[in-house]
C-alpha cells in the first residue's frame, strides 16, 4: 500500500514538473503572443493585425502583460507602422501641394481636402502617432476623389494626355512637333480664315517661315513654341461640334521684318497665339482662333 502511494505521489510530482516545464500559459496571454507572431513583416496592410495585437495586449492585467514574451516585437511593429504612415502622409501632402494650384484644382471644391491636409500637417508636426492611421485613411480617400475627378476631366478632353511631363500633361513632345507644316482646316471655314497654313525652311541661314493663305495671299511669319500651364480652349471638331481641348503647347507668330509683311491686313489676327495638341486619333493639330470673332478655335491638320 505504501509502495502504491509512493508511486502515485511520484507520478503527481512528475506531472507537476512536466506542466511547469511545458509552460502552462494563461490562454489570454497565449492568444496575445499568437496575435503578435501573426503580424509578420510590417507593411501598411499590417495595420489591422497590429491593432488586433494591441487590443489583446491592453486587455491583459499588469501581471499577465509581463508574461507576454514577444512584447518587444509588438513595440517594433508599432514603431515601424508609425514610420510608414508618416512617410505615406508626407508623400500625400507633397502630391497635394504640387497639384492644388493647377488647372484641375481650380475646377474642384478643395474645402474637404484642404481641411484634411491641415489636420495631417498638425499631426506630423506634433508627432501625434495615434492619429496617423485615421489621418492617412482620410487624406488617401480625399486624394482618391480628387484624382477620380482629374481622370474624368482628362477623359472628356478632345486632346490627349501625352504623359511626358506631369507639369504639362497635354504638351506635344518635341519629337512629335512638325518642323515643316502643310495644314488644312478640319472643317471648312469662311473666306476670312486661312485655308492653308504652310511652314517651310527656304535657306539654311533663315528661320522657317509660316504662311497663312487667306484668299490666296499670304505673308511670312516666324514662330516660337513654349510650354504654358494647362488651359482649356473650345475647338470645333471634325463633326462641327464645339468641344473642349486641354492644351500646354502655345505657338506665337510674328510677322517678318519686311515692311510688306507688316502691312498684312490680317497681321493682328495672325499674331494671336495658337496651340498645338494631340487629338484622340493621335494627330498633331494646330488650333487657331476663329477669324470671324466666334469664341472657339479652328483645328488645322
Note the pLDDT tens digit of each residue in 223-233: 999 999 999 99
Say if residue 260's pLDDT is above 90.
no
Strands 284-289 and 242-255: unpaired
Per-residue pLDDT for 271 more than 70? Answer: yes
pLDDT band at 23 (very low <50, low <70, confident <90, very high): low
- Please give the helix or strand (H or E) that residue 77 lies within, else none: helix 71-99
Residues 6+ apart with CB under 8 A from 121: 93
Dist CA 299 CA 183 (whole Å): 9
Matching residue, cell 475647338: 235
> Residue length, the chain?
301
Q: Mention every residue, 6+ apart, whose C-beta is less than 8 A from residue 222.
A: 207, 208, 209, 210, 253, 254, 256
pLDDT at 58: 96
Band (213; pLDDT cuts 50, 70, 90) = very high
List the grid coordinates of 240.
462641327
- What is the reported pLDDT for 264? 80
Q: What's the pLDDT tens digit per position in 174-186?
A: 888 888 999 999 9
Question: Mean pLDDT across the stretch 94-114?
Answer: 93
CA atoms within 13 A on the CB side of 63: 2
Least confident range of 4-13, 109-118, 148-157: 4-13
Amino acid at each position: 500500500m505504501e509502495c502504491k502511494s509512493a508511486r502515485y505521489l511520484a507520478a503527481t510530482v512528475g506531472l507537476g514538473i512536466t506542466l511547469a516545464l511545458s509552460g502552462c500559459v494563461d490562454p489570454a496571454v497565449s492568444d496575445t503572443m499568437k496575435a503578435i507572431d501573426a503580424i509578420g513583416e510590417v507593411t501598411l496592410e499590417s495595420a489591422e493585425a497590429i491593432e488586433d495585437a494591441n487590443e489583446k495586449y491592453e486587455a491583459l492585467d499588469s501581471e499577465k502583460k509581463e508574461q507576454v514574451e514577444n512584447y518587444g516585437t509588438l513595440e517594433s511593429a508599432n514603431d515601424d507602422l508609425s514610420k510608414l504612415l508618416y512617410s505615406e502622409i508626407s508623400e500625400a501632402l507633397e502630391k497635394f501641394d504640387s497639384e492644388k494650384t493647377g488647372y484641375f484644382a481650380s475646377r474642384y471644391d478643395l474645402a474637404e481636402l484642404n481641411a484634411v491636409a491641415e489636420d495631417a500637417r498638425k499631426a506630423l508636426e506634433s508627432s501625434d502617432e495615434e492619429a496617423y492611421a485615421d489621418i492617412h485613411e482620410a487624406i488617401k480617400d480625399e486624394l482618391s476623389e480628387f484624382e477620380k475627378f482629374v481622370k474624368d476631366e482628362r477623359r472628356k478632353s478632345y486632346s490627349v494626355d501625352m504623359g511626358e511631363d506631369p507639369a504639362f500633361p497635354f504638351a506635344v513632345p518635341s519629337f512629335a512637333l512638325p518642323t515643316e507644316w502643310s495644314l488644312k482646316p478640319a472643317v471648312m471655314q469662311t473666306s476670312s480664315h486661312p485655308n492653308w497654313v504652310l511652314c517651310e525652311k527656304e535657306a539654311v541661314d533663315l528661320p522657317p517661315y509660316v504662311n497663312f493663305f487667306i484668299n490666296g495671299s499670304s505673308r511670312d511669319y516666324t514662330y516660337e513654341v513654349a510650354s504654358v500651364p494647362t488651359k482649356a480652349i473650345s475647338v470645333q471638331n471634325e463633326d462641327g461640334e464645339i468641344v473642349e481641348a486641354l492644351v500646354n503647347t502655345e505657338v506665337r507668330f510674328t510677322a517678318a521684318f519686311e515692311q510688306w509683311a507688316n502691312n498684312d491686313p490680317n497681321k493682328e489676327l495672325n499674331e494671336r497665339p495658337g496651340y498645338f495638341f494631340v487629338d484622340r486619333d493621335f494627330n498633331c493639330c494646330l488650333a487657331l482662333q476663329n477669324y470671324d470673332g466666334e469664341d472657339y478655335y479652328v483645328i488645322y491638320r
